[in-house]
Structure 1
Amino acid sequence: MDIEDDNLSGAAVLTEKALTYLDTLAKKEYPSQEEFLSTMKKECLHLVQSQKSMASLKNELLHVLRNAEKGETLEEAKNLVTQSVKERLQFLKKAEIKIIQYGTSLIREGSTVLTHSRSSTVEKILINAYLKIPFHIVVTESRPNCEGRLLAETLSTKGIPLTFIVDTAATLFNPDLVLVGADAVTPHYVINKIGTKFLAASFPTYVACSTNKFTKKRVAIEEKNPEEVLKNEKKYKNVQVKNYYFDGTPLNCIKGFITEYGILPPEKVKSLLKP
C-alpha cells in the first residue's frame, strides 16, 4: 500500500483508499477465519499507525473491523467486510456531496477565498462554486511538501484562475474567507496542516469535513523527517531542525464546520464527537 508514504493527499482520499484496500483483502483466500481476522487487524493497525493524525482513517477501519468480527464463519466475516466497505464508501460520497453544497453557499461573488494544503473536499467546493459565480482563489504552497502546487495545477487545468503564494504571504491578500479541510477534530482542536492556526487567528476560517473525522481521543502531532525542511541538516552545526506537518487550532478560532449536517458552530461540534 502507498498510503503510509503518501504525504500529499488529504485524509478523505487516503481513507477511501484504505477502505478499498480492506475490500481487496477480503477477496483473497485464507486458511481459516482466525487467519483472516488476524490479517485484517494487522493491516488496519499498520495503516492507522502510518497516518496517526487522521481520525477518519482510524474511525472507518475500526468500524469495518468490528463488523468483520461479528461473522461466525470465514465467508461470513469476509462478506461483512465487503458489505461494510460498500456502505461506508456510499456514506462518505453522500456526505461529500452535502458538504460541497453547504461550502459553495458560503462563497460570495467577487470575494477572495484562500485555501491551505490540499483538501479534496475543499477542491471540489472551489470548482463547484466557480461554475456558478466568479471569485478570487488564493492557494498557498503548503510547505514542507508543497501539496498546494498540486491543487493549483488541478484548478488551473480546469480553467480556473488563481493566485499561488508562499504560506506566510496570506496577510497580503486579506481573504474574506479561508477554507481548509481537517485530519481530525478533537474536543479542543482542529488538527490540520501546519499554519492553519495562524490563518484561523487572522481570518474567518471554515473547516470542511465529514463527521467521521471527529474524535474524543487525543491526536498526536508527529515530528517528520527534518531533511524535508533542510537538506543535509547534519552539516549545519548548532542547528536543530523541526518538521511538523500539522498543528492544532482551538475550536473557538473556527467560524464554522461544514459537515454533512450543515454548517455547525464549534459548540455544536463537541456534541458529535465520537468516543
Structure 2
Amino acid sequence: MRTINWSDNGHIILTDQTKLPKECATIECNDVDTLAEAIRSLRVRGAPALGVAGGFGIALAAQTSRARSQRDLIRDIEHAAEVLRNTRPTAVNLFWGIERVLKKTKTGRSVHQMKELALEEARKMADEDVEICKRIGEHGAKLLEDGDVIMTYCNAGRMACVDWGTAIGVIRSAIGQGKRIKVIACETRPLNQGSRITAWELLQDDVQVILITDNMVGHVVKSGMADKIIVGADRIVEDAVFNKIGTYTLSIIAKEHKIPFYVAAPMSTFDFEKRAADIEIEERSPQELKYFGDEQIAPLEVEVYNPAFDATPMENITAIITENGVFHPPFSFKDIRGKES
C-alpha cells in the first residue's frame, strides 16, 4: 500500500494519518491548497513522504493550470511551490522534492511537454522512494542480530515514506532475512505518532511490538530491555540530526548506557549547505498540548512551548544508514556527499 499516489482522475491520493489507528482512510487533493492543508495538519508527514508530496504538488499545479504559455505556467508552478514551502520549515525533503520537479518541468519546450515532465518526474520520485527505502533496509539489516529488541521513536515506517520505511524498513528487512526482531515503540507525545502509527504498522505486519510512554525510555534502556535504538531523520546537517522532539533525549540515554543509536535516512535528507544553528525548528500549535483529541487536558491560559523537532549532535550517533551504505564516525560530509547517487 502506497501512502501517496497519483489517481487516474488526475489528483493526489493520500493516506490520512490523522485517522490512524481507528481508521485507515484516504483523502484526495485536487488543488495545491488542499495539499498544503494536508501537510500542515500532518495528514501526510514524514520526511521522505513530504518530499514526494512536494513533487506531486508541483505536478498537480501544472496539470490544473490554465496557462497557455510557458511563462504563465512557470508563474503558476512557482506560486504553488511558494505555498508548499511555507507549510513546514524543518524537513528538507519537502524543499528537495519541490525543487526537483520544478527544475525538470522548466526543461519542457511547450506547455504540454512541461505538464508531462512534471507528472513523470513526480511519479519517478515515488517509485525511487520505495527502492531507496529497501536499500536502506538492506544496509541497516546487517547491523541487527537475531533476537534483538529494537527501540524506535515517532514513525519512520511506510507511513513516513511512500512505502517500506526508513528505520522501520531496517527492521522489516532484518525480519525478511529470518532474524527474530522485537520492537519497543515510544508513544511520541504530543501527537502520538509512535502509538497511533508505528504500533499500528508493526501489528499489520505481525511484528511483536511493545508500546511505552516516552518517560519510560530511561528505565527501559537501563533495565537492559532494548539492544539498539533506530530512528529516522527530518534533516541531517554537518553537526546534527534533526528529528522528532525527544530524539536527542533518547540519544543521551543510549550513549549513557552504551547501546547503539542509529539514524536511518535517504540521501535527500542531507542538507550539505547548513549547520544546526542555521535551521528553523517548527513550532506547532499550543492546542496540541492543551487538548487530547477533543478533550481539554491543560488550562487554556497556560503558556505552551511546542517545538516539533530537536537536534541530536553527531557525537551521539553510532552510524547513519542510507541507501548508499552505512556511515560511521567521524562523519565526513565531503565523503558522504561524494557517494550521492
Q: Report how far residue 90 of structure 1 moved.
A: 3.5
C-alpha change, 1:10 and 1:266, in structure 2 (3 Å) is farther
State how far apart, in whole Å, the 2-side matches of 1:44 and 1:173 are.
44
**Match of residue 11 from structure 1:** 47
Q: Report how far residue 234 of structure 1 moved.
A: 6.0
> For 1:160-206, what per-residue CA distance to the aligned partner results, in whole angstroms no more than 9, with x for missing partners?
22110011211222222111111100122111001111111221211
Q: Say yes or no: does 1:58 pair with 2:95.
A: yes
> For 1:226-275, what per-residue CA distance to the aligned partner results, in whole angstroms no more than 9, with x for missing partners?
12112465644xx421111100111221111110110112544522459x
Q: Report how far residue 19 of structure 1 moved.
A: 2.1
- The counterpart of 1:133, out of the listed 173, 179, 183, is 179
- The counterpart of 1:123, out of the listed 168, 186, 209, is 168
Task: Decide which structure has greater helix share.
Answer: 1
Structure 2 residue matching 1:109: 3-state secondary structure: coil
State how far apart, in whole Å, the 2-side matches of 1:213 and 1:245 are.
17
- The counterpart of 2:198, out of the listed 148, 151, 158, is 151
Native 8 Å contact 1:8 1:145 kept in 2: no
> For 1:25-75, what per-residue CA distance to the aligned partner results, in whole angstroms no more than 9, with x for missing partners?
333342322221112112122222212111111112112212222334322
C-alpha change, 1:146 and 1:8, in structure 2 (3 Å) is farther
C-alpha change, 1:124 and 1:106, in structure 2 (3 Å) is same
Q: Map residues 190-201 of structure 1 onto 2, 5 A cutoff.
A: 190-201=241-252
**Match of residue 282 from structure 2:** 222
State how far apart, in whole Å, the 2-side matches of 1:154 and 1:270 are.
33
Counterpart AA for 1:198: T
C-alpha change, 1:269 and 1:211, in structure 2 (3 Å) is farther
Structure 1 residue matching 2:142: 3-state secondary structure: helix
State how far apart, in whole Å, the 1-side matches of 2:190 and 2:130 are.
30
> % of aligned pairs identical?
24
Q: Report how far residue 7 of structure 1 moved.
A: 6.1
Length, aligned pairs only: 272
> For 1:120-146, what per-residue CA distance to the aligned partner results, in whole angstroms no more than 9, with x for missing partners?
222232233234221321000001100
**Match of residue 169 from structure 1:** 216
Whose relative contact order is higher, 1 or 2, with alpha carbons under 8 Å and at least 6 apart? Answer: 1
Name which of structure 1's ranges 177-186 and 60-69 shifts more when overlaid on structure 2: 60-69
State how far apart, in whole Å, the 2-side matches of 1:254 and 1:58 are.
25
TM-align CA RMSD = 2.2
TM-score (norm 2): 0.74
Native 8 Å contact 1:144 1:229 kept in 2: yes
Native 8 Å contact 1:4 1:47 kept in 2: no
**Match of residue 265 from structure 1:** 328
State how far apart, in whole Å, the 1-side matches of 2:329 and 2:242 are.
14
Structure 2 residue matching 1:113: 3-state secondary structure: strand
Q: Can you give the 5+ residue segments of structure 1 that lack an aligned partner in the other structure?
A: none
